[in-house]
Structure 1
């Protein structure tokens, strides 16, 4: 009987231990999936956005309005949306095919943006839809560019 009782106690302790481990591990994994390593900001103008965040691209016009920005804090993935003056691409943007993937999501960033991209703005790929500019930066593309020099 003592052996059976010890086996039951040992098995119960193992289940409790695994349960405790899951209680700590699952929230951490969910946090990674749910964006705990992501920051998001909104600004009235491009000038305010650039004054607040050093990671904001220099090509964003100061006169841009309704600026939304989302960034990974563990890499170079970025999303940016802004209303641009006259519905024109900012200086520093050139025609081109997208180089990278859209790795972040945001309610204000349309899911079909990559298919509409026709420009590159610095290290960002971009799509101009009316007067709204949607741009993103892919961690892998940016990292390769930094390594290349």
Structure 2
């Protein structure tokens, strides 16, 4: 009996199983970025500070104006086929409270449409405010860490935003 095909099949299954478990757990790299972009239609970026992230322009990674300029460890995940976004950051000395954020429970609290390894489960229960820029964001604060998400619902009275192209910047 020729065992060579069985060995090849077993090795192939082993490599595929290892890749299935390892790839999602790898730090961002060209391979995982390509899989996210083409398969899941999502992209992500990480910035050391809010000052390192773009604030305006034709990029999906532009931060909303309500995020304090001294925020640190900013992570953004965007849907490339729509306006859904996740944003996580750590507050610096500037508090989150501002004219663009209202305290209390937002009108519609929905679960985020996206997911990320750095995004906690059951965050919806912690929503305490709604912040507005071009889109309405639901915001939860845990200590100094802020989690915000939007499904792309425009803010009332916001000017229509021109099409945002996801850049590889």
- Establish whether TM, by shorter chain, passes 0.5: yes
1:58 shift after superposition: 1.2
**Residue pairs, 1:1-149, within 5 angstroms:** 34-35=39-40, 37-51=41-55, 53=59, 55-86=62-93, 88-91=95-98, 92-98=100-106, 99-101=108-110, 102-122=112-132, 123-139=136-152, 141-142=153-154
Distance 1:34 1:95, change over 3 A: farther
Tell me the matched-pair count: 117
Q: For 1:133 and 1:42, how far apart are their aligned partners in 2?
A: 15
| Structure 2 residues not aligned, in runs of 5+ | 1-34, 161-169
Secondary structure class of the residue paired with 2:52? helix
Q: Name the TM-score, length of structure 1 as normaliser.
A: 0.66
Distance 1:42 1:148, change over 3 A: closer
Does the 8 Å contact 1:79/1:137 carry over to 2?
A: yes
1:90 shift after superposition: 4.3
Secondary structure class of the residue paired with 1:118? strand
Q: For 1:135 and 1:75, how far apart are their aligned partners in 2?
A: 17
Give structure 1 regions of 4+ aligned residues with deviation exceeding 4 angstroms.
Answer: 30-34, 51-54, 144-149
Q: For 2:38 and 2:90, how far apart are their aligned partners in 1?
A: 29
* Cα root mean square deviation, aligned: 3.1
Distance 1:45 1:117, change over 3 A: same
Q: For 1:82 and 1:134, how far apart are their aligned partners in 2?
A: 7
Report which of the two structures shows the higher radius of gyration computed on alpha carbons.
1
Cα distance per residue 1:59-79 (max 9 Å; x no partner): 111110000000111111100
